[in-house]
Amino acid sequence: MPAGSELFLDTRSLSTSHRRLASLLAPGMTVLDVGCGSGAITRGIAEAVSPGGMVLGIDVSAELIGHAIRGGEGANLTYEVADIHLLDRPASFDVASAARVLQWLSDPMPALRAMIDAVKPGGTVVVLDYDHTKLEWDPEPPAAVGRFYDAFLQWRAETGFDNELARHLPAMLRQAGLLEVSESDESEVATRGERDFATRVALWPNIIATRGHQLVGDGALREAERSRAEAEFRSWIETDAERQVLRLSAVVGTRPLG
The residues spanned by each domain of the chain are 5-254
Average pLDDT of the segment spanning 26-41: 96
Condensed to tens digits (0 to 9), the pLDDT of residues 220-256 reads: 999 999 999 999 999 999 999 999 999 999 999 999 9
**CA atoms of 135 and 158, how far apart (whole Å):** 19
For residue 11, the model assigns a pLDDT of 75
For residue 73, the model assigns a pLDDT of 82
Q: What is the pTM of this model?
A: 0.93
- Give the residue from 249, 120, 230, 121 showing the smallest Cα distance to 184: 249
Which CATH code for domain 5-254?
Answer: 3.40.50.150
- Measuring CA to CA, how many Å separate 70 from each of 14, 63, 154? 19, 11, 36
Collapsing DSSP states into helix, strand and coil, what is residue 160?
coil
Contacts of 149 (CB under 8 A, 6+ apart): 135
